[in-house]
Amino acid sequence: MRKTPLVLLAILAAVATSCSSGDTTTATTTSQAQPTGASPGSASGSEPGAPGTASAKPDCAADYLARFTQREKLAQLLTVGVTGAADATNVVRTEQVGGIFVGGWTEQALLADGQIGQVTAAAKVPLMVTIDEEGGRVSRVKDLIGAVPSARVTAQTMTPEQFHDATLTRGKALKDLGVTVDFAPDVDVSSQPDDSVIGDRSFSDDPAVVTRYADAYIRAMREVGVGTVIKHFPGHGSGSGDSHTGAVRTPPLDQLQTVDLAPFRALINSGSGVMVGHLDVPGLTTPGIPASISPEVMSLLRNGTGYGAAPFQGVIFTDDLGGMAAITSRMSIEEAVEAALVAGADNALWITTDAVPQVLDRLEEAVSSGRLPAARVDASVLRVARYKGALTC
């Protein structure tokens, strides 16, 4: 009996030297992996050195980070809109951005004709191919995969499980086109008119209804291997206007707690990313500093304290920093991207590739000067890597 502890210790030591293989259903040996959608706290979602992680995990993370120069690490934290295959291939090959965004202006041949393959082949690690395909009036590829009702109509005409099943079909169609991340579902709680900035993009003015339908969407997309991103934290549904055209003020933070923040609180462990909106939030944001570049908002989301949620270990995305007046009227794209990453975002989104070199020049200088800590960059690179299935240990 005295030998048993020694045998057990030997077994544990052998296990500790191996690296977790992660979810084999989402790993891939090709140049394009699918997002794992791993829930925070799972083996593929934990930070290096976190309690309970295998001893080899930091080495695995270090090996991944060693693939990049400092500039390329910073580029992994950018997702940029592209006009077509040539534009996308160029920015991926020359700068190794972490993601591209397919918008309404993007040539449909990029997805329809399979040109996305030449783009992903230019990336040294799996590339996020993103889109905001919500359905209703926010639909970029309805001509390719068909139109579907808005979120509001969906919640009025389908059960959550019917919506789940319909989303499986739509998610599979997106994946077949080459999309890996959908900036949806919109979990804003709103009773505003259908044609307002959120309006019928919201499932309901009842946070419980929003949560049920958003959960169905996230589950279905995860089943087919497409990443999801809930938006617009901390809640755009009661905002004063449209952040595309100017500053938007929400009700004070204490008034957001029971309604606007409720779906985020409920879905924070769903494996979805979170998009932060360009919102001025009394009681939370500094005047003139919208949520997307606010350290206070990033801290609220990351830590969970202050709105009763679990800590969030997934990827924090910004809303578009380059085409929305709530940001562009205040600062340049170079300033905005730096401000977002310094505040604590993991991935900065905007809609053109023109400024990528200038943005990276500024970010390199921010790291060298200490404004943007190198350790913060590494942590974000690893979060993004795990989210998109590039790192499974």
| DSSP result, 101-127 | EE-TTS-THHHHTSTHHHHHTT-SSPP
Q: Between β-strands 128-131 and 227-233, what pairing exists: parallel, antiparallel or unpaired?
A: unpaired
Q: Say what the alpha-carbon torsion angle 282, 284, 289, 293 is, to the nearest 10 degrees.
A: -140
Q: Specify the pLDDT at position 224.
A: 98
Sheet holding 316-318, edge to edge: 316-318, 273-276, 227-233, 181-182, 128-131, 99-102, 78-81, 348-350
Number of domains in the chain: 1
What Å distances lie between residue 58 and 41, 48, 153, 284, 311, CA to CA? 16, 5, 47, 35, 21
What Å distances lie between residue 384 and 37, 61, 67, 176, 359, CA to CA? 11, 12, 15, 22, 19
What is the torsional sign of CA 387, 389, 390, 391?
positive
Question: Which CATH number fits the domain that encloses residue 211?
Answer: 3.20.20.300
On whether residue 204 sits in a domain, the answer given is: yes
Q: Specify the pLDDT at position 242.
A: 80
**314, 343, 390: which is closest to 128 by C-alpha?**
390
What Å distances lie between residue 155 and 49, 189, 322, 341, CA to CA? 42, 13, 32, 35
Residues above pLDDT 90, as percent of the chain:
80
Q: Is the pLDDT of residue 12 over 70?
A: no
Confidence band of 236 (pLDDT split at 50, 70, 90): very high
Candidate list 215, 280, 319, 346, residue with the active-site label: 319
Contact of 236 with 243, CB cutoff 8 Å:
yes
Helix crossing, 356-369 with 85-95: angle to 10°? 20
**297, 186, 290, 187: which is closest to 246 by C-alpha?**
290
Instruction: At 100, give phi and psi (nearest 5°).
Output: -120, 155
On whether residue 385 sits in a domain, the answer given is: no
On whether residue 49 sits in a domain, the answer given is: no
Average pLDDT, the chain: 88
CA–CA separation, 34 and 238 (whole Å): 34
Confidence band of 57 (pLDDT split at 50, 70, 90): low
Contact of 152 with 135, CB cutoff 8 Å:
no
On whether residue 379 sits in a domain, the answer given is: no
Buried b (16+ CB within 10 A) or exposed e, 72-101: bbbbbbbbbbbebbebbbebbeebbbbbbb
Element (H, E) at 273: strand 273-276
Contact of 389 with 33, CB cutoff 8 Å:
yes
Candidate list 23, 194, 244, 354, residue with the active-site label: 244
Look-up of token digits 């300033």: 335
3-state secondary structure at position 156: helix
Read off the DSSP letter of residue 292: G
Residue-range definition of the domain harbouring residue 334: 69-369
CA–CA separation, 135 and 374 (whole Å): 39
Q: Specify the pLDDT at position 324.
A: 86
pLDDT tens sequence across 79-112: 999 999 999 999 999 999 999 999 999 999 999 9
Is-catalytic flag, 278? no
On whether residue 5 sits in a domain, the answer given is: no
On whether residue 102 sits in a domain, the answer given is: yes
CA–CA separation, 200 and 210 (whole Å): 12
Look-up of token digits 């085409």: 323
pLDDT tens sequence across 169-209: 999 999 999 999 999 999 999 999 999 999 999 999 999 99
CB atoms near residue 266 (< 10 Å): 18
**256, 160, 275, 149: which is closest to 210 by C-alpha?**
160
Is-catalytic flag, 232? no
On whether residue 44 sits in a domain, the answer given is: no
Q: Specify the pLDDT at position 13.
A: 37
Contact of 189 with 251, CB cutoff 8 Å:
no
Per-residue pLDDT, averaged over 246-250, amounts to 90
pLDDT tens sequence across 122-151: 999 999 999 999 999 999 999 999 999 999
Contact of 372 with 346, CB cutoff 8 Å:
no
On whether residue 136 sits in a domain, the answer given is: yes
